[in-house]
Homo-oligomer: A and B are copies of this chain.
């Protein structure tokens, strides 16, 4: 998947001159993209076929294929590389970095999504008697957002950012109720407690959280968002966004699972809100 990493990993498998090529590649991957075998050969002080052999060894079909993979890699990873915010960044730079790191976090999440878990989540939600959304801190607004979305449908959807209210709701849950818990790390103690209460009451507990985390233990389904740690510096940003988009996807899947009637319902809600807006010009 990650071609630059692959080159680094296989450095030891390479012959002397192939190694020279690798060095040249790692020196400035960006540059390789716009270069021909001939020029790269000259730069690395090897013959042209060696370039080709290098590409094959790395696992590519040939030099053009290698360039392509590199280009894709860099396009994706460009944001990762430079997403740390420095004290002397100006506003434009910071804005750009935030957007870029969010973009790459989302792209990463999309790539590593567990579709089976999502499918399972949707089928549980579809048959739910009642859906509760729980979370603390930054995850509270994710939970709030989720509740907002599900409010458009007919299944009762609740949310509170109050610990006690959440606890009571978990205590009063029954089989057939679904509890969705949000926590990026899965290590928030209060939330684990709540999840356990729901779990013990045989409600269905769904965790939008890290796999293998303490919270995950009390979940029937875990959907994780795989956002690299370093994207969230002082406060959760990218991870929160990833969770919200995940919920968007789940809501869309949920809506679709309901079939035709729900579309009319949604259209009705939209129409009903019309009067509270100025008409578009």
- Interface residues of chain A, those whose CB is within 8 Å of chain B, are 33-34, 64, 67-68, 71-78, 85, 87, 89, 91-92, 94-100, 102-103, 106-107, 109-110, 113, 115, 118-119, 122, 136-138, 140-141, 144-145, 148-149, 152, 185, 187-190, 192, 214, 234-235, 237, 240-241, 244-245, 248-249, 251-253, 255-256, 263, 266-267, 270, 273, 276-280
A280 touches B187 (CB 8 A): yes
- In the bound complex, what is the Cα–Cα distance between A118 and B92 (angstroms)? 8
Contact B214 A278 (CB under 8 A): yes
Partner of A110, one of B89, B100, B119: B100
Interchain CB contact under 8 A, B188 and A107: no
Q: Is the interface of A mostly helix, strand, loop or mixed?
A: helix
From B75, B252, B276, B278, contact of A85 by CB (8 A): B252
Q: In angstroms, how far is the closest chain B Cβ from the Cβ of A89? A: 7
- The one of B68, B96, B256 in contact with A68, judged by C-beta atoms closer than 8 angstroms, is B68
Contact in complex: B76, A73 (CB < 8 Å)? no
Q: Is the pair A234, B249 in contact by a Cβ cutoff of 8 Å? A: no
CB contact under 8 A between A77 and B110, given known A148-B138, A279-B187? yes
Tell me whether A244 and B245 are in contact (CB under 8 A).
no
- Residues on B with C-beta less than 8 A from A190 are 276
**Additional 16 contacts, C-beta under 8 A, given A99-B249, A240-B244:** A72-B72, A75-B75, A76-B76, A89-B256, A95-B113, A95-B115, A95-B249, A98-B245, A102-B248, A103-B107, A103-B110, A137-B148, A141-B141, A145-B240, A188-B276, A189-B278
Question: B248 touching A234 by the CB < 8 A rule?
Answer: no
Known interface pairs A75-B76, A245-B241; A95-B253 also in contact (CB < 8 Å): yes
How far is A78 from B96 in the complex, measured between Cα atoms in Å?
A: 16
